[in-house]
Structures are given as structure tokens and as C-alpha cells.
Amino acid sequence: MSPRRTPEDWIAVLAMALLCLITFGNVLVRYFTDRSFAWTEEISVFLLVVMTLAGAAAAAARDNHVRIEYFLTGGSAARRRFLAVAGALVSTLFFLFLAGLTADMVWDEFRYQETSSGLGLPRWWYTVWVPALSLVIAFRAAVVLGHMLKRT
């Protein structure tokens, strides 16, 4: 657990704080004016996705993702090292793969000029962050992999 604050930490914290403010604002506005601003729902969902992926990158940097540690922490040192390296490698490759596939999804949305159902904004404005942040997760997993390889 490193105390250093990464850019992903800032993104996740800001997204979380904005989510609180928007939702609380909605409650207040509804009671004082009898109106609701439903259009914020789309923004909230967007922030939720950003918070998830940024937080996942932060968790990857600290190697905090949920896993079964039974075999990872037992057995010979060589086996532990092998599993740790293999796990980090698999994670890195998977998030690269996910970044590629989501980039393809965003490209289609861009090409066909899809718009969001609530605000009518171009959908790719929202979704382009998914491949970008997936790349960040892959990068953080790769850094962990690098540390594992260096440690003998």
C-alpha cells in the first residue's frame, strides 16, 4: 500500500465527490422547487464508469484486486514467483485486449454518430474514457509485473 497519490486516485476521488454533489443537489432541488433534473442521470452514470475504471487502476497499482491467495502464498518460492509473474502478465494482457475491444466499440459509435438517449450528446464523448482507462489499468498491471520480475 503506497501512500503516494497517483493521478488515478485524483480522478476517482473527484468523480466520487461530484457524484455526491450531483445526487445531493438533486434531492435539494426536488424539495425546494418540485422539479427534478433527470438529465443529470446520464452524467452520473458516466462519472460512475470513470470512477470504477480509475479506482480499478489505483487498485491495480497497489495490487489490491480480489484474488484467491491460497496457492499464491503457499508452496515453494519458485512456484510462488511463477504464479505471481504469470498472474500479473495475464492481467496486463487482458486489459490490453479489453482496451482494444472497447476502442473498437467507441470507433463504431464515432463512425455511426450515435447519440446518447438523455442529452443527445455524441456517445463517444462518454465511452472514449473506457479504452483510455483500460490502458492505464494495463500499464499499472505491467508496472507490478516489472517489480515481480526484478524481485528474485
Q: Does 138 help bind another protein (rule: CB under 8 A)?
A: no
Please select the residue that binds another protein; options are 86, 119, 121, 149, rule is CB under 8 A: 86
Total residue length of the chain = 152
| Residue tagged 457524484 (cell numbers) | 19
CA distances from 126 to 1, 2, 43, 101, 106 (A): 31, 30, 9, 16, 9
CA distances from 6 to 13, 59, 74, 85 (A): 11, 11, 31, 23
Please select the residue that binds another protein; options are 4, 7, 12, 125, rule is CB under 8 A: 12
- The answer to whether 86 touches 94, Cβ cutoff 8 Å, is no
Please select the residue that binds another protein; options are 29, 81, 94, 122, rule is CB under 8 A: 94
CA-nearest of 92, 102, 94 to 140 is 92
Q: Does 147 help bind another protein (rule: CB under 8 A)?
A: no
Please select the residue that binds another protein; options are 4, 32, 68, 111, rule is CB under 8 A: 68
Residues that bind another protein (rule: CB under 8 A) add up to a total of 53
Which residues contact another protein by CB under 8 A?
A: 5, 9, 12-13, 15-17, 19-20, 23-24, 26-27, 41, 44-46, 48-49, 51-56, 58-59, 62, 64-72, 83-84, 86-87, 90-91, 94-95, 97-98, 101-102, 104-105, 127, 130
